[in-house]
Chain A
Amino acid sequence: MAFKRVSATVFVQNDQVVKSYAYSKFYPFGNLHTCLSILDRWLVDEIVILDISRKRSISSYVLEQISTTSISTPLIYGGGISCIEHVDQLISLGCDRIILEDALFSNHNLIHLAANKYGSQAIIGSLPFSFSLNHPISPIFPDYLHNQYSNLSVLQLLDNCQSLPLSELLVSDFLHEGSFGDFDLNIADFIYHKSTFRKGVLFFGGISAPIANILLSHSNTTAILLGNPNYENELCIPVFKSLLSKNSLIRPSSSLPH
C-alpha cells in the first residue's frame, strides 16, 4: 500500500502530443520531449504516455523521445504493444510499467510472457468502458480496430483480468474522456460491486475533484489520471490534490499554491 497517485496522462497520436476529447476529436499540442520534461520538473506523481494511433507497433519517434528525455519521474507507457520485443524496448528505455489493452482480448500469451520476464508489478491492463443512454445496464466498450462497439461482455473481461498476471487495471470512461466532471460513477460501482476484480484500479476520463473524492474512498482505487488540464497549468495537480478530502492518502505536492 502506497499513497494513491494523481497521475499526468499524455496522449500521442501519429507522433504528436494531442489533447483528446472522447477519443474522437484531437488537437495537436507539441512534442513529447517537452511534455515529459515539463511534467518531470513539475514533480507529478507519475507520467502515463498513451499512444492512441491505433497501430500494432510502437512509434520510433516515441521511443526516441523517451530515450532522449532523462526524467526521474515514474513512467508508464501504453499503446501499440503487440510483442515481447516491444516490452523489452520500453523497459530498457526507462519505462517502469506498461499498459496492455488489446492483449486482454486477443493475446493472453503476451501478458504472461511480459509478467514472466518483468514481473506482474510492471503490467497494467486497460479496459475503456462506458454506460450510454442506449446501454444503461450493460456497459459498452469500443472496438477501435473495427470502429464499432465490441460484443464482448465487460463483466467477463473484468473477471478475466482478476486471474491474469496484472497488478492494476486502467479503466477509462471513454465517452466522457476530455470532459471535466462528467466521469460516470456507475463505472466504479460496476467494478467494485458487480465484478470479481479486486486489484488496484486507475480511473481516467473526465474526473473532477468531487468525483475523485468518491473514487478514492474505495480502497482498491490506486490512481486518478488527469489528461488535458495538465498541459496548461503547472499547478493543475497540486490544486487538484488540495481539493481532495482524503488527501492524507495522497503524496503531498511540493508546490502547493499559497
Chain B
Amino acid sequence: MIKIGILQYGAGNVGSLLHSFSAAGFPAFVVNSSSEICTVDLLVFPGVGNALAAQSHLVAHNLLPHLHKRHAYALPTVGICLGAQLFHSYLEESNLPGLSWLEGSVNRLPSDFPFNNGWSCIDHAGLKKHKLGRSLTKKSSFYFNHGYFLNPGHKGLILSVSSLLQVPAIICHDHITAIQFHPEKSQRNGLLFLRNLIVDYYGF
C-alpha cells in the first residue's frame, strides 16, 4: 500500500485532502514531523494560504533541510495551489525565493483578472499525453482559487493550462508535480485526477 503524507505547514486544507485521497482509494496521513518527510512514498503540499506565512512556517519549523533532502532523493512530491507555488524559484507574493525545485516565478494575475475563483476546464490533450486523462473528458472542470499564477522558466514543463484564463494548471518535472487547481475540491473529477496521478503517472 502506497504511503501518502500530507505535509502540515499551516496552509490549511489538510482535512479535505485526507478525505479526498481516502475517497479516491488511497488513505493518507498528516506529516507533522520533519523526520517523516523522507519516509513517505508521496508527499503532498496542500495550499490555502499566503506565500510569506507558509514560507515562514517552513523556516520556523526547520522543515527546509528535510524537504531539500527528499528532493535530492528524487522522491515523488506534489504541490497543490500555494503548495505548487512554493516549488518555484521566486514568489512575487512574498518577494522571496521559493524552494527552487522548478525554475521560474510565481506572479500576480493580470489586473483585469486579479483572481481566478471557480471552475475551469483544462487542456485535455496534455492530460492524456501524460497519462493523467483516464476517465476524464474535455468537459471535465476543476476548482481554482488563486491570485498568483505559475510561470515556469521552461514552458515545455507545462502539462496543461486552464481553458478560460490560459494559466498553467499542471506542471510536471521528473518527480515533481505542481497543480494550480484543487483536486480535493473538484468533486468526482478531482478524485479521478488523484487516482490517475498516483496510479498512471507515478506508477504506484
| Segment at the interface with A among B35-43, B64-72, B108-116 | B108-116
- Cβ contact within 8 Å between A115 and B13: no
Q: Can you report 5 residue pairs joining A to B where beta carbons are below 8 Å apart?
A: A1-B120, A3-B141, A93-B15, A121-B147, A199-B115
Q: With A2-B120, A222-B118 known to touch, is A97 a contact of B147 (CB < 8 Å)?
A: no
A94 to B48, CA, bound (A): 10
**CA–CA, A96 to B190, complex, Å?**
15
Q: Which residue of chain B has the shortest Cβ distance to A70 in the bound complex?
A: B19
Contact A121 B191 (CB under 8 A): no
For the complex, give the distance between the alpha carbons of A167 and B139 in Å.
26
CB neighbours of A30 from chain B (8 A): none
Q: Are A1 and B187 in contact (CB under 8 A)?
A: no
Decide if A167 touches B117 in the complex (CB within 8 Å): yes
Interface size on B, residues (CB 8 A): 42
List residues 70-128 of chain A with CB under 8 A from any CB of chain B: 70-75, 91-94, 96-97, 115-122
- Chain A residues contacting B12 (CB-CB under 8 Å) are 91-92, 118
Chain A residue contacts of B147, Cβ below 8 A? 119-121, 167
Identify the 9 closest CB pairs spanning chains A and B, nearest first: A2-B118, A70-B19, A91-B12, A167-B115, A94-B16, A251-B119, A121-B147, A2-B120, A3-B119
Q: Which of B146, B147, B186 has the most CB of A within 10 A?
A: B147
Q: Does more than half of chain B's interface fall in helix, strand or loop, or is it mixed?
A: mixed
Query: Contacts of A92 on B, CB cut-off 8 Å?
Result: 12, 14-15
Among B49-57, B97-105, B126-134, B170-178, which stretch is in contact with chain A? Answer: B49-57
Let me know if A173 is at the binding interface, CB within 8 A.
Answer: no
A177 neighbours in B (Cβ, 8 Å): none
Interface 1/0 per residue, B187-203 and A, CB below 8 Å: 11011000000000000
Q: How far is the CA of A46 from the CA of B19 in the complex (A)?
A: 18
- For residue B157, give the distance in angstroms from its CB to the closest CB of chain A: 23
10 additional contacts (CB under 8 A) given A91-B12, A122-B145: A70-B23, A74-B182, A74-B185, A91-B13, A94-B13, A94-B19, A96-B182, A119-B48, A120-B115, A121-B117
Q: Is A43 in contact with chain B by the CB < 8 A criterion?
A: yes
Q: If the complex has contacts A1-B113, A222-B118, are A72 and B49 also in contact, measured as CB distance less than 8 A?
A: no
A119 to B19: give the CA distance in the assembly, Å: 23
Residue of A67, A71, A200 touching B117 (CB-CB under 8 A): A200
Contact between A5 and B182, CB atoms less than 8 A apart: no
A176 within 8 Å of B by Cβ? no
A45 at the interface (CB under 8 A from B): yes
Chain B neighbourhood of A116, CB < 8 A: 50, 52-53
